[in-house]
Amino acid sequence: MKDMICFAHRGASGHEPENTLLAIQKAIELESEWIEMDVFPVEHELVVIHDDDLERTTNGKGSVLQSSLAYLRSLDAGKGERIPYLNEVFDVIGSSAKLNIELKWIDTVERVVSTIEEYIKNHDWTYDRLLISSLFHDEVKKTKSLLPEIMTAPVFLGPPPDNFIEIAKDLQSYSMSMDVDYITGEIVNKAHQIGIKVVVFTVNTIEDIEKMKNIGVDGVFTNYPELLSKAE
């Protein structure tokens, strides 16, 4: 399905441990256009992990935000992989894919902006390969105000609020990241009327990819990027 935009969700996380450099490499191998990774701020860094505690995806214990970087980096995030830093994500992707950074906490903006500026200035990165998204819409707004060229997306978990269009307009967003359990053709049409794309998470079967296509969705977050080429 060439006209559906593919976001490898937490990397190709159906194949390799989520939010690791291995999952990125697999997403690149599967030719995903975009790779989505989650970040939390810890000390001066952004660490790449989904949950705010460590138990599910690592051999560590406790809260990500209350851990030291030294502790986080000592952990196994699956198959011997370390919890990556955001700059390692940029390095591994290089020019092979686009990157959606999902901000999983507040106080992320300065670090995200300085990493993006560094990779645009000194490496082969361009704004058209970057998308910043978050459930914390203020973080998205601050990022956009500092980097007006950046593409952004509010994330809506559960049913979108009545003013979801106003939120997206206010953020001047490129897209909206919407929950698969609450997406409808009507929501998609409203977004399209103001020129905003709809990308739905998380869509892991061919049948559901086809359903999304039928209601006009522009793209999907999937743990299995290879499914897009199998859908009709």
Between the alpha carbon of residue 16 and those of residues 12, 23, 67, the distances in Å are 6, 5, 24
Shorter beta-carbon distance to Mg ion: residue 53 or 74 = 53
Residue 139 binding target from Mg ion, ligand G3P, none, CB below 5 to 8 Å by type: none
Shorter beta-carbon distance to Mg ion: residue 16 or 38 = 38
Q: Which residues are known catalytic residues?
A: 9, 50
CA neighbor of 9 nearest in space, from 36, 41, 39, 44: 36
Considering the complex, what minimum distance in angstroms separates the CB of residue 86 from ligand G3P?
A: 15
Check the CA dihedral 214-2-164-170 and report its sign: negative
Spatial distance between the Cα atoms of 35 and 109, rounded to a whole number of angstroms? 20
Residue nearest to ligand G3P (CB): 201
Residue 77 binding target from ligand G3P, Mg ion, none, CB below 5 to 8 Å by type: none
Considering the complex, what minimum distance in angstroms separates the CB of residue 106 from ligand G3P?
A: 16
Residues that bind ligand G3P in the complex, under the rule CB under 6 A: 9, 36, 38, 50, 102, 133, 155, 177, 201, 221
Among 30, 58, 84, 102, indicate the residue that binds Mg ion (CB under 5 A).
102
Considering the complex, what minimum distance in angstroms separates the CB of residue 122 from Mg ion?
A: 27
Containing 35, the helix (H) or strand (E) segment is: strand 34-42
Residue 139 makes contact with Mg ion by CB under 5 A:
no
Between the alpha carbon of residue 175 and those of residues 29, 81, 97, 192, 217, the distances in Å are 25, 31, 18, 10, 11
Considering the complex, what minimum distance in angstroms separates the CB of residue 36 from Mg ion?
A: 6
Residue 26 binding target from Mg ion, ligand G3P, none, CB below 5 to 8 Å by type: none
Spatial distance between the Cα atoms of 100 and 58, rounded to a whole number of angstroms? 22
Between the alpha carbon of residue 193 and those of residues 133, 162, 169, 171, 213, the distances in Å are 21, 16, 11, 16, 17
Check the CA dihedral 6-86-46-148 and report its sign: negative
Shorter beta-carbon distance to ligand G3P: residue 32 or 133 = 133
Query: Site residues (CB under 5 A) for Mg ion?
Result: 38, 102
